[in-house]
Amino acid sequence: MSVRNYYISILSFLLALLFGINNVLSKPEEYKTYIVHLDHSLKPSSFLTHETWHQTILKSLSKPVHGKEMLLYSYNHVMNGFSARLTPSQVSKLKKSPAHIATHEEKIGKLFTTHSPQFMGLRHSSGLWNASSYGEGVIIGMIDSGVWPESESFNEKGMPPIPTRWKGKCQNSTTNPFPCNRKLIGAQVFIKGIQAADESDSPDDSPRDFLGHGTHTSSTAAGNHVPGASQFGYANGVARGIAPGAHVAMYKVSSGGFIAESDVLAAMDQAIADGVDIMSLSLGFDHVPYFQDVIAIASLSAIEKGIFVVCSAGNDGAPNTTFNSAPWITTVGAGTLDRSFIATVTLGNDLTLEGQSKFPDRVLVVDTLLYYGKVFGKVVMCDNNGSNTIFEQVRELARVEALAGILIADETLYNIDELEIPSLILPSSSGALIRKYAIEAADDASVKIMRFVLTSFGTKPAPQVAFFSSRGPDPVNPNILKPDIIAPGVEVLAAIPPIVSVEQFGNYDLGSDYAFLSGTSMSAPHVAGVAALLKAVHPEWSPAAIRSALMTTAYTVDNNGTTLTNQFTSLSGTPLDYGAGHINPNKAMDPGLIYDIDWQGYVDFLCGLGYNDTEMKAILRQSKWSCTQEGTDINYPSFVAMFSADSPNVKNFTRVLTNVGDDQSVYQLITETSQGMTIKVEPTTLTFTSKYQKQKFAASVQMNGKAPPVAYGYVKWIDQNNHIVASPVVVLNS
């Protein structure tokens, strides 16, 4: 290489390097949303409000990009701090402030996408509905996707006046009027965070629900009596929420199915300020430690103020997938109902068979030839060889213009929605009878009649643990059994916005005011409604007392008299699937004893997790606290013992029970164990002489010999009046 070329190459390199550096220097930093925790004891007295202090802090960092506001929300109750749009360099500068505690980048989460009151034993003439006046005077705050106020579920007819303690409001849209009333007493919007994350400038200032999620969760928790909701032959044409006498307030945090941490924090912050009694969330974020979990942080603040918080466990269906699992949150899985949607077929030989179908039209298929194969204009029977789904088979039958379909499948989880032609699903045992008839009758084989839009009650087994319901052990803290309980969450009738399609019918989208929906997003509002009823009967009960009553009175035996089973496998479940069991509202009204937990109990639990000062400040919203015990044992209504090869094979627990039943009560201990498991409790008798008296007991769980991966049993206290206070005990061996 010549000297000239050498210098030219060096010059080119330097120019390229300079150009690259210039590009790096000139490229603007990206703005993202951050959640910022501050020590509010360091707020200068010159600032009258926390918000003005927060705004001043942000202004000191630099001017916001494109003139946009940096501050999204300033929080007053759920945490000490704010959420804002910041660059990495601004965050670095902010962290140098003496008042700074912790900062993390916002995460995006998701929504967890009737006959049920009767199934749970609620009756008009007696029990919890009657005693609670249907939840009169209780306010349920729903953190969700909005609500459709015109739905009959939110009709104010027969509702009492709005409680004078209510401080909320009804946020009217600039373009979309939103009426509130004595039933739906408040509705507000919190979507600045998700709008910022999407970089969307389109305003959505209406609390109205355009997804359907918030409307159906709200109607499930506290919808009013609604005549005429008779889709699929619903019993007596009636839909009703669990607490029809309670008031509802909606806090909209989603406009497109996704949610942002800053918005959920703001909604929960406002719900606390407004004065709700119950808070229900059917949504969640990725698994993180409690001190980074915005729902856990906000819920702890709500619990401190006596607000009962209930959350969906999630719809992931597999072990180690439970969401919203902090011990101050009541975490709910989903179970099935004893109801099926059916159709019937009567063959030419007068044999009548019943199968599953959700074909949405009350058509009659009369005097039609039956063909075991595919042919135009006939009722066609199709075997299932496993290579095609029910939906695909029906679509093919519609393509060849079959009149109706009879589909053979033993799998109970097939999707029977969106059937394009009249079709029903039969088990292989029924299919064999039809096949035999079709072969023997040959060309004369016929269907006399097929009937659709029928409902069958008393389906067995029920309840089952829904196949999609998230299960334990909990991925964040397996020492706490989650879910706590299960409640109806499969094919629950609930209100939806009329603009949302229920399903497709041929080339058409079907609309309705009601639809059957599934998910832990449906089961959590059931528990919110029951909690409202219990709050009305026992206004002095703490959130932990309500959860304890729900858990210790739950049942674990289905209507076949066997242990609750897994909907997918039909095998017996365990407390990792269903927690303490299926909710039993009337029993929960009079539990006899409760496992109560006060604020210090939660502080001690967090101390036992080994969090440092920064992490404790973030979750407690306090700069000072005291730890009064070692370990993470907490006065919970369930027990989890974890063992490994190098750990002791005994786990010790201490519990305190509070008498909320008869003044004079004597409780005797009963324990139930599985293979290789021993439970010892001292004392074995608890004697109470007055209401609210407390008694302590110690329990130890031991595994003997070669232990299975999971074992479980129960600690039960039974008194002379047949109160049964049951707690599941789970052993995890690794």
312 and 362 assigned to the same domain? no
Tell me: do 516 and 439 sit in the same domain: no
Catalytic residue check, 204:
no
Same domain, 191 and 288: yes
With 70 as the cut, is the pLDDT of residue 117 above it?
no
**Catalytic residue, candidates 144, 269, 558, 604:** 144
Catalytic, 518? Answer no
Partners of residue 504 on adjacent β-strands: 509
Q: Assess whether 367 and 512 both reside in one domain.
A: no
Mean pLDDT of the chain: 87
**Which H/E stretch holds residue 82?**
strand 81-86
pTM strictly above 0.75: yes
Answer yes or no: do 433 and 372 share one domain: yes
pLDDT in tens, 514-560: 777 888 998 999 999 999 999 999 999 999 999 999 999 999 999 99
Between 725 and 402, where is the model more confident? 725
Q: Bridge-partner residues for 697, per DSSP?
A: 655
Selection from 439, 449, 411, 414 nearest residue 427 by Cα: 411
pLDDT at 699: 98
Order of all β-strands in the sheet with 258-260: 258-260, 108-111, 283-284
pLDDT over 50 (residue 655):
yes
Q: Is the model more confident about 246 or about 241? A: 246
pLDDT of 66 strictly over 50: no
pLDDT digits (tens, 9 = 90+) for 441-493: 988 999 999 998 888 888 889 899 999 999 999 999 999 999 999 999 988 87
Q: Which of 54, 77, 213, 247 is catalytic?
A: 213
Is residue 23 one of the residues assigned to a domain?
no
φ, ψ (nearest 5 deg) of residue 281: -130, 120
Is 221 in the same domain as 320?
yes
- Within this chain, do residues 120 and 81 fall inside the same structural domain, yes or no? no
Burial (CB count within 10 angstroms: exposed 0-12, middle 13-18, buried 19+), residue 38: buried
pLDDT at residue 13, as a whole number: 53
618 within some domain:
no
Range of the domain at 149: 116-331+502-536
Whether residue 566 lies inside any domain: the answer is: no
Active-site option among 521, 548, 665, 727: 521
How far apart are alpha carbons 145 and 190 in whole angstroms?
10
What gap in Å lies between CA 682 and CA 696, rounded to an integer?
A: 9
Do 209 and 176 lie in one domain? The reply is: yes
Give the single-character DSSP code of 339.
E
Stretch 410-415: mean pLDDT: 62
* Cis before 473 (ω within 30): yes
**Neighbour order of strands in the sheet with 278-281:** 184-189, 247-252, 139-144, 278-281, 308-312, 330-335, 485-488
Let me know if 521 is a catalytic residue. Answer: yes
Structural domain count of the chain: 4
Q: How far is the CA of 265 from the CAs of 84, 119, 231, 302, 345, in angstroms?
A: 13, 35, 37, 11, 53
pLDDT for residue 646: 81
Mean pLDDT of 154-159: 90
Decide: 503 and 360 in contact? Cβ < 8 Å. Answer: yes
Is 160 part of any domain?
yes
Sign of CA dihedral 703, 706, 709, 710: negative
pLDDT: is 219 or 664 the higher one? 664
